[in-house]
Amino acid sequence: MSSNQAWFERAQAVIPGGVDSPVRSFRSVGGTPYTVASGRGAYVTDVEGNEYLDYVQSYGASLLGHAHPVVVDVVRDAAIKGTTFGAPTPGEVLLAEAMVSRVRGLEQVRLVSSGTEAVMSAVRLARGYTGRDKIVKFDGCYHGHSDALLVAGGSGVAQMGLPGSAGVTAGAVADTIVAPYNEVPTLNDSIAAVLVEPVAANMNLVAPNPGFLADLRAECDRVGALLIFDEVITGFRLAIGGAEEFFSVTPDLWSFGKVIGGGLPVGAFGGSKKVLASLAPLGPVYQAGTLSGNPLATAAGVAVLDHVTIDDLALLAGRVKNFAADLETAFRDAGIYALAPNVGALMGLYLSEGEATVPRNFAEAKVLNENGLYKRFFHAMLSRGVALAPGAYEIFFISLAHTVAELERTVSIAADAAKEMTA
Ligand SMILES: *Cc1c(COP(=O)(O)O)cnc(C)c1O
């Protein structure tokens, strides 16, 4: 019972589609998913003993690479002391302090257990605080799977070719307005909040146009709407202070996830003390969680934030920039037009048979994501020991454990893969 095929069959018998999150399925690329037995640094090993250089990295939850010793140690120590209590613990305070001290304008956070919960709660808070109903989101941005936010979602929703989800009532999305990314919508005073991924990283990568975020800030201020940065991917990765620092635009509310859990389930939302005072027990906006601020997860999160330096992220961004340029060249040498837009440590990859321009919104990204080239590249890489996300709508997650040598090796493997694709 240790082949990928056997595990996947067993999984499909008891788990719908054999996966606990649709992005993990090979629906859009075809084939059988590898089942991971373990991971270390930049690598994962499947149940057959195959090792892959891993660019999935839990979709961004792992910044230091898998099973980093500082994370393993603190999680082990925390587990010995008890895993959950339903009472305040020092770890929650330490993680909240670590976040607040790094992100300008972030005065308080409430910890939750996932990015979905974080965004859902931030939206509820924005509505409760402003007394308004409507929210604006952008086409192709993903903000977790809560009812009101799945509409026009990126990531798995886009990968499955769905406009949203069955089971979501018209009422649940009636107050969600969808706008194209990189265009500032004209707001009015019915809008509670504008929710945005400061760098769109769930439709492949779409960078904000210069001024887009600042103009959004100004438009929100004009009508008294709150600006929410969904920093579940960008937080503590784009810069120590996240997108706020990178773009020098300060939102009213933030949502976080992924990096801040160090690979364990954590999310957080936060903002100024003034806005956060609307949350129960201080105010009328209710939000809660049995496992919120879990001691294992907070210990891992603090360990990661304490470990990562400004220099680490600058170094990583530099590596990613070179990696992107080298990948583009390798593809072009093989006759495929590749675009690898990158912002800090975030990188996307679009493949095209003819010349193409870098997408600025979901409609443009979709054309390139759906041209069928990515699935061939994906399998050509997988068979050469490099694991990419099994869908063209995701970005590359390059951890601090990915060395220059490993990135260079990836480029030469990609060159081989590209030649196979054009042969
Ligand atoms: C992953 C993601 C979420 C959802 O986080 P989960 O932990 O999967 O619930 C929300 N927003 C963005 C931008 C994400 O990338």
Check if 142 is active-site: yes
Residues above pLDDT 70, as percent of the chain: 99
Asked if pLDDT for residue 225 goes beyond 80, the answer is yes
Cα(110) to centroid of ligand 1, in Å? 16
Q: Are residues 150 and 85 in the same domain?
A: yes
323-342 mean pLDDT: 97
Tens-digit pLDDT profile for residues 186-217: 999 999 999 999 999 999 999 999 999 999 99
Q: How high is the pLDDT of residue 11?
A: 97
Residues above pLDDT 90, as percent of the chain: 93
Q: Are residues 113 and 172 in the same domain?
A: yes
Q: Are residues 316 and 294 in the same domain?
A: no
Asked if pLDDT for residue 1 goes beyond 70, the answer is no
Q: What pLDDT band is residue 378 in, cutting at 50, 70 and 90?
A: very high
Residues sharing a CB contact under 8 Å with residue 211, sequence separation 6 or more, in sequence order: none
Instruction: Name the residue at shortest CA distance from atom 6 of ligand 1.
Output: 115
pTM for this model (two decimals): 0.97
Asked if pLDDT for residue 380 goes beyond 80, the answer is yes
Q: How high is the pLDDT of residue 168?
A: 87
| Host domain of residue 339 | 4-63+309-422
The last residue of one of the domains, among 280, 307, 334, is: 307
- Which ligand 1 atom is nearest residue 267's CA? 7
Please give the tally of structural domains in the chain.
2
254-264 mean pLDDT: 97
400-411 mean pLDDT: 98
57: left (phi over 0), alpha (psi -120 to 50) or beta: left
Tens-digit pLDDT profile for residues 345-354: 999 999 999 9
Note whether 390 and 23 are within 8 A (CB): yes
Q: Which of 258, 394, 395 to mutate to test the pocket of ligand 1 (most atoms within 8 A of CB)?
A: 258
Point out which residues pair with 419 in neighbouring strands. none
Asked if pLDDT for residue 281 goes beyond 90, the answer is yes
Q: Which of 202, 234, 238, 395 to mutate to test the pocket of ligand 1 (most atoms within 8 A of CB)?
A: 202
149-175 mean pLDDT: 79
Mean pLDDT of the chain: 96
Q: Are residues 33 and 120 in the same domain?
A: no
Cα(100) to centroid of ligand 1, in Å? 20
- Which ligand 1 atom is nearest residue 234's CA? 13
Q: How high is the pLDDT of residue 166?
A: 85
Q: Are residues 376 and 291 in the same domain?
A: no
Asked if pLDDT for residue 62 goes beyond 80, the answer is yes
Tens-digit pLDDT profile for residues 229-254: 999 999 999 999 999 999 999 999 99
Strand ranges for 34-188 from DSSP E = 36-40, 43-46, 51-54, 108-112, 134-138, 176-179
CATH number reported for the structural domain that contains residue 167 in this entry: 3.40.640.10
Q: Which of 123, 345, 387, 375 is nearest to 252 (CA)?
A: 123
Q: How high is the pLDDT of residue 386?
A: 98
Can you say whether the dihedral through the CA atoms of 323, 303, 394, 20 is positive or negative?
Answer: positive
Instruction: Name the residue at shortest CA distance from atom 8 of ligand 1.
Output: 115
Q: How high is the pLDDT of residue 192?
A: 98
Q: Are residues 19 and 139 in the same domain?
A: no
49-77 mean pLDDT: 98
Q: Are residues 322 and 398 in the same domain?
A: yes
Find the catalytic residue in 46, 54, 139, 230: 230
Other CB atoms within a 10 A radius of the CB of residue 383 amount to 11
- Which ligand 1 atom is nearest residue 231's CA? 13
CATH number reported for the structural domain that contains residue 384 in this entry: 3.90.1150.10
Q: How high is the pLDDT of residue 93?
A: 98
Check if 311 is active-site: no
Stated as kind and residue range, the H or E segment containing 320 is helix 310-333
Q: How high is the pLDDT of residue 171?
A: 86
- Which ligand 1 atom is nearest residue 258's CA? 7
For ligand 1, which residues put their CB under 6 angstroms from it?
A: 59, 114-116, 119, 142-144, 197, 202, 230, 232-233, 257, 267
Cis peptide before 69 (omega within 30 of 0): no
Check if 230 is active-site: yes
Q: Which residue has the higher pLDDT, 173 or 278?
A: 278
Instruction: Name the residue at shortest CA distance from atom 14 of ligand 1.
Output: 232
Q: Are residues 176 and 48 in the same domain?
A: no
Tens-digit pLDDT profile for residues 104-159: 999 999 999 999 999 999 999 999 999 999 999 999 999 999 998 988 777 777 76
Q: Are residues 165 and 22 in the same domain?
A: no
3-10 mean pLDDT: 97
Asked if pLDDT for residue 318 goes beyond 90, the answer is yes
What is the C-alpha to C-alpha distance for residues 340 and 336, in angstroms, rounded to an integer? 13
Find the catalytic residue in 34, 59, 142, 393: 142
The torsion defined by the Cα of 271, 277, 278 and 284, in degrees rounded to 10, comes to 150
60-80 mean pLDDT: 98
Find the catalytic residue in 43, 59, 252, 258: 258
Q: What pLDDT band is residue 165 in, cutting at 50, 70 and 90?
A: confident
Cα(142) to centroid of ligand 1, in Å? 7
Q: Are residues 128 and 238 in the same domain?
A: yes
The last residue of one of the domains, among 307, 330, 347, is: 307
Q: How high is the pLDDT of residue 162?
A: 66
Tens-digit pLDDT profile for residues 7-31: 999 999 999 999 999 999 999 999 9
Q: Which of 116, 123, 197, 199 to mutate to test the pocket of ligand 1 (most atoms within 8 A of CB)?
A: 116
The last residue of one of the domains, among 274, 307, 340, is: 307
Q: How high is the pLDDT of residue 407?
A: 98
Asked if pLDDT for residue 174 goes beyond 70, the answer is yes
100-104 mean pLDDT: 98
Q: What is the DSSP string of 107-123?
A: -EEEEESSHHHHHHHHH
What is the C-alpha to C-alpha distance for residues 67 and 71, in angstroms, rounded to an integer? 7
Cα(407) to centroid of ligand 1, in Å? 26
Q: What pLDDT band is residue 172 in, cutting at 50, 70 and 90?
A: confident
Residue 134, both tokens: 């409507």
Q: Are residues 130 and 17 in the same domain?
A: no
Point out which residues pair with 136 in neighbouring strands. 177, 194
What is the C-alpha to C-alpha distance for residues 57 and 397, in angstroms, rounded to an integer? 6
Q: Are residues 283 and 155 in the same domain?
A: yes
